[in-house]
Amino acid sequence: MSDQVLYAVPQILRNDDGVYAGNLVYYGRVLFNHAQNLMHPYHNFRHMFHVLWLCHEACRFYKDVLSRQQMRNLLIAALFHDFDHSGMFGYDDLNIERSIRGLRRHILPNDAPCLDRIASLVAITQYPYVAVPEQLDLCGKILRDADISQAFSVAWIQQVVFGLAAEWRKPPLEVLAMRLWRP
């Protein structure tokens, strides 16, 4: 039964199940207290923590494949992948730059040796995609899939289509026609 339990954000941040190295409480507080995009229609608190949750589920699934440090790096990247996102269409290279700048500003000393790796994971989420799926390692594939996952769920259509339409100042039908899920 314990393998089927879905973990809540506080449990993930505290690392109650001991899946990854250390805990992420500090980084959760950083996002909550410093990210400027928490109230955006799409690139918001809910999206960033949904990506964290999905990456955590993947870490639990791949616990025998990924090291505890790889999992920690992935989860930090998940938290920061949209840090300070502008919500504007067509400037994702700048959004990634802002995310990585926030990551660098708030990195813990113990995570500093992994900063370049975590930043490279954040960069994988740039849309339109720069790195092709065949070039991604397992952590990169997990993060990218988690980032786009909301587009595949009927329950998230409201946030994805209408949220992105509001951020991008486009009609919802135009956003729907963009087929955001194509590789």
In tens, the pLDDT along 25-62 reads 999 999 999 999 999 988 999 899 999 999 999 999 99
pLDDT, position 114? 98
**What percentage of the chain carries pLDDT values higher than 70?**
91
Structural domains present in the chain: 2-151 (1.10.1300.10)
Question: How confident is residue 91, by pLDDT bands cut at 50, 70 and 90?
Answer: confident
Neighbours of 173 (CB within 10 A): 10
Q: What is the distance between the terminal CA atoms of the chain, rounded to a whole angstrom?
A: 35
Residue with the bigger pLDDT between 167 and 84: it is 84
Kindly list the distances between the CA atom of residue 141 and the CA atoms of 116, 122, 137, 149, in Å, as whole numbers in the listed order: 17, 12, 6, 12
Residues ≥6 apart with Cβ < 8 Å to 126: 92, 93, 95, 96
Neighbours of 166 (CB within 10 A): 16
What is the model's pTM?
0.86
In tens, the pLDDT along 98-113 reads 999 999 999 999 999 9
Neighbours of 49 (CB within 10 A): 19
